[in-house]
Amino acid sequence: MSTINRRVAIVTGSSRGLGRAAAERLAKDGLAVIINYAGNEAAAKQTVDAITAAGGEARPFKADVADEAQVEALFDFTAQEFGGVDVTVNCAGIMTTKPVIDFTVEEFDRMHAINVRGTFLVSREAARRMRAGGAIINISTAAERQALPAYGPYAMSKGAVEGLSLVLARELKGRDITVNAVGPGPVATELFLTGKDEALIERIASLNPFNRIGQPPEIAEVISFLAGPARWINGQTIFVNGGMN
């Protein structure tokens, strides 16, 4: 167990993309961070090494967020390493985009297993174990408000995340734990960029008053705010999209 007296965060899906940016920002804020990953051990190690090199403290842990036993093991490991957990950020997620009529049941079930079931399992375990003064931060999307074609089942999965966040915030009354969701617009991550050509990316960027897509650190900044000083923000979804809608 670490002997450093500091707050502790679990960030799921934090070996790459938005999760990595969130983990690095929380580590910069002084939190010890658990880098959760599902399969890319090398990327998880790179994230841990980057945090350590910057003076932070991090440990990797492999767990499929859709598996109940593995989620419990993730929290057990965190308690063993750092003594408890104060912040949980649900960044693990996948995105499949295509018209509803072309979606297969298998694609739908796979996406919802991670985006919905995974967020539920991690949030439930966090609610059971989190210390007072803590924060649960779930990742939603601005896509549901934008009503973009091909984003239907993905937006549906994130609508479920927002619903869970709202109710859980109220269920934790008296625990001094906040629960919020962050809804990013298009962000320059592998999750968003995969399968899109430059013309499509530019067209999506043009929908934003800044004429660009977001960067992971810009989303991580809001996660950091909700994880720390924003104690009077609770049961909300904060859209972080540069004014796209």
Does residue 154 fall inside a structural domain? yes
Expressed as residue numbers, the domain containing 54 is: 8-240
> Cα(185)–Cα(22) distance, rounded to whole angstroms?
16
Residue 2 in any domain: the answer is: no
Phi-psi region of 150 (alpha: psi -120 to 50; beta: other; left: phi over 0): left
**Based on the structure, what is the number of domains in the chain?**
1
pLDDT for 2: 47
Q: Tell me which residues of the chain have a pLDDT lower than 70.
A: 1-4, 245
Side chain identity at residue 131, one-letter code: R
- pTM metric for this prediction: 0.93
Task: Answer yes or no: 154 catalytic.
Answer: yes
State residue 1's pLDDT score.
47
Q: Can you say how many angstroms the Cα of residue 17 is from the centroid of all Cα atoms in its chain?
A: 10
Helix (H) or strand (E) holding 90: strand 87-90
**What is the amino acid identity at position 25?**
R
Residue whose tokens read 């915030």? 169
In a domain, 28, yes or no: yes
The CA distance from 134 to 48, in Å, is 23
Sheet holding 58-62, edge to edge: 58-62, 32-37, 8-12, 87-90, 134-139, 177-184, 237-240
What pLDDT was estimated at residue 233?
A: 98
> Is 185 part of a structural domain of the chain?
yes
Domain assignment present for residue 3? The answer is no
Q: Residue 23 falls within a domain, yes or no?
A: yes
Catalytic residue selected from 75, 82, 151, 154: 154
Q: Say what the pLDDT of residue 4 is.
A: 54
CATH number for the domain that contains residue 161: 3.40.50.720
